[in-house]
Chain A
Amino acid sequence: MPEPIYLDHAATTPVRAEVLEAMLPFYGPRFGNPSSIHRWGREARTALDEARERVAACLGASTDEICFTSGGTEADNIAILGAWRGRRDAGRRAIVTTPIEHKAILASVHQAASEGADERFCKMTPAGVVDRSSFDALCNRDTAIASVMWVNNEIGTVQPIAELARQAKSVGALFHTDGVQAFGKIAIDARAIPFDVLSVSGHKIGAPKGIGAVFIRRGTTISPLFHGGAQDRGRRPGTENVASAVGFARAAELAVAEREEECRRLAQLRDRLEQAILARIPDARVHGRGAPARAPHVLNVSVPGTDSESLLMALDLRGIGCSAGSACQSGSITPSHVLSAIGVPADLASAAIRMSLGSLTTDACIDRVAEVFPALVEKARGMARAS
């Protein structure tokens, strides 16, 4: 079999060599606990403080606005539940979000609803963008927080975060954005865009799994989810994951420095793959294609008369790793809530294949996928016709 092709960078990315190198001392001699008063502790504390400063710099934030977490899911939970629990007593009992959020947001909002919150989902356009009039109508003086993901993880559509944040803030609501897929792809500057809370994750940008951060703008009321020591100003108790924080900082710096060039490269590869697929399969449907802005690394395509499960297996057995929708606990594929929320019919939604590009994607990868994918599709459709 030819060299396998990894086309699932939106799921996770390999740890970069520079990142691993930066982390190694903290698995060796620099093992200290940042809260200790001795030299080992000071050494660890220095590394952690520096990591926080460097992540803050990447986001246009102040150091004290960065809180390290175990990843995007924890950051999203802190944002939603922290804001809800911190503001409900002030009469702000509504949460506004979209139906295309990551499960970490949807499940957190659901948890808040079980604690008495009023959950509100704004309408989406068929292109996969928030319907502005719906969003504006739902954000009121009773809204604790509005949360809209910056870049959708399944279809790559970009939401107008600056406008939505301004709208939410005009009625006194907090604004959170899940920036997990946006980090490294979109310029994120907390000084220019008025979000109050932002989630980012390490393993999508070449840092290890198990590290992420939540930006919490100064003066924002967020109740902690964990209870324990005074680490991270009490916002996130627990001995800090120093090695991963250092790795995350290195990965963030690299991602921000390389962003423009890498995005140009990925967009060009993605467009070439998209055009090749559409040329061979004219009735293929690219989800989110009509959005005003799309992140460069996601291509989500449905071919009528096929099903994602069979195609993913066939692709995998040809050495090509892609994904579809979201997987349930057993690992089986369930139809995408994102696609159904933007009005994609069930049969097309169940045919969706997400290809996500990144550091491992080369011209040669795209050439091969552009050849193999249509061939598998034609075969699958041939069998469907025959049966």
Chain B
Amino acid sequence: MRERVLVAMSGGVDSSVAAALLVEQGYDVVGATMKLFCHGDDLPDRPCCSLDSVNDARRVCQSLGVPHYVLNLESAFGRDVVDDFVHEYSIGRTPIPCVRCNTFTKFRDLVAKADAIDARWIATGHYARVVDGELRRGVDPAKDQSYFLWGIDRGVLGRMLLPVGTQTKPETRAVAHRLGLELIAEKRESQDICFVPDGDHTRIIRQRLGDDAPALASGPFVLSNGAVVGTHDGFARFTIGQRRGVPGGFREPMFVVAIRPADRAVVIGPRSELLGRGVVAREMNWLVDAPEVGERVEIQVRHRATPARAEIVRLDAEAREIELGLDEPVAAITPGQSLVLYHGDRVLGGGLIERGLGVGLRVIAA
């Protein structure tokens, strides 16, 4: 009997090709598109999650001859992903909703749906690989999405199929053409957060928290010595390392180096103040047996960053909170972003960045 796989299909080229490859490999494929939020008005020109995307996924399944379902995960996604996204911004952090969507929506809630239909496997269009029960980077360094997958339950790795993780994006498009999926073969990439289709994340913060939310109220730009040098219109518009919207007229280019919700301050400084020599993260999740203090690893503190060499200097008893020392300073370590630990291509685990540690930053913390 063919093994059944539930494929999460966004209507984009990656997950469509994933489904097509699995059909070709002889799996009993069931396609599912998750409806995660409701656009009041359709946004037909947006590449992800709009009604058109559901229709594209359905058309792909029709052409593959496999069933397709639309799963309404709106309320769980709203709770697990959108609420957290808004809360993180409200406390001056910069969240990555895709990480929580992978952790809670795709590889937990969707796995429950897979269980309900006796699907042994669950598949997505992620550029990552599972080899010998371990998560690895996708082979295309330009597309590798392993950074977003650190939070999933380790037990799910044994059920994951990531068919496009072994190929490059151009190869994925070529497969789409070879398999006759012209509808989606040249579809453009989604860059935005799916529930922030116009790129303006403050809109949803305002919707949830109201017009008078402190995160969107004006506050001071300050230097690390405390001097007030201007006024901004809401700290939620800023992230660590940002230059856009920062006052000029200094000798050096100035960056956001910290966000201080207590007095709504956005702290700015030169590049030197952006450098961290260490990082503290919490809510660590391990995809291999937890490492030990003193172990050397590579870390990434943002998507597509060059991995940095580091050493584990502290790990709490449950291995849920970690501190690493960096061999070389890393710029713009941002609270709320993910810290992911690697050994080469192997993903060891990850967590949420609590703070960066370093010369410039110590001044601000005081």
Contact = CB atoms under 8 A, between A and B. Distances in A.
A309 B71 contact: yes
Contact of B69 (A313, A328, A379): A313
Interface residues of A, number: 18
Contacts of A310: 112-113, 116-117
B35 interface: yes
Contacts of A333: 72
Contacts of A316: 67, 69
Given A310-B112, A387-B112, A332 B117 contact: no
B204 interface: no
B51 interface: yes
A314 interface: yes
Contact of A383 (B69, B70, B116): B116
Contacts of A380: 116
Interface string A350-387: 00000000000000000000000000000110010001
A316 B71 CA distance: 14
Interface in A153-207: none
A27 to B, nearest CB: 27
Contact of B112 (A314, A328, A332, A383): A383
A133 interface: no
A314 B117 contact: yes
B30 interface: yes
* B interface majority secondary structure: mixed
Interface string A285-310: 00000000000000000000000011
A330 interface: yes
A331 interface: yes
A332 B33 CA distance: 9
A111 to B, nearest CB: 18
B352 interface: no
Interface string B38-75: 10000000000001001000100000000101111010
A376 B51 CA distance: 30
Contacts of B74: 332
Interface string B5-37: 000000000000000000000000010010100
A309 B54 contact: no
B171 interface: no
Interface residues of B, number: 19
Identify the interface centre among A309, A311, A313, A330: most chain B CB within 10 Å of its CB: A330
Contacts of A313: 30, 69, 113, 116-117
B51 A330 contact: yes
B115 interface: yes
Contact of A332 (B67, B71, B116): B71
Nearest to B69: A313
A329 interface: yes
A110 B69 CA distance: 30
A330 B116 contact: no
A317 interface: yes
Interface in B283-322: none
B115 A383 contact: yes
Nearest to B28: A317
A334 interface: yes
Contacts of B113: 309-310, 313
A118 B77 CA distance: 36
A329 B112 CA distance: 24
Contacts of B71: 309, 332
A305 to B, nearest CB: 12
B116 A334 contact: no
Nearest to B50: A330
Given A310-B112, A317-B30, A387-B112, A330 B117 contact: no
B70 A331 contact: yes
Given A332-B71, A332-B72, A314 B116 contact: yes
A332 B70 CA distance: 5
A231 B67 CA distance: 43
A94 B30 CA distance: 49
Interface in A311-355: 311, 313-314, 316-317, 328-334
Contacts of A309: 69, 71-72, 113
Contacts of B58: 331
A114 to B, nearest CB: 16
A383 B114 CA distance: 11
Contact of B35 (A314, A330, A383, A387): A330
Query: Which 5 A/B pairs are nearest by Cβ-Cβ distance?
Result: A310-B116, A332-B72, A332-B70, A331-B70, A332-B35
28 contacts: A309-B71, A309-B113, A310-B112, A310-B113, A311-B116, A313-B30, A313-B69, A313-B113, A314-B116, A314-B117, A316-B67, A316-B69, A317-B30, A317-B67, A317-B118, A328-B35, A329-B51, A330-B35, A330-B51, A331-B54, A331-B58, A331-B70, A332-B70, A332-B72, A332-B74, A334-B72, A383-B112, A383-B116
Given A332-B35, A379-B116, 4 more contacts: A310-B116, A314-B116, A330-B35, A332-B71
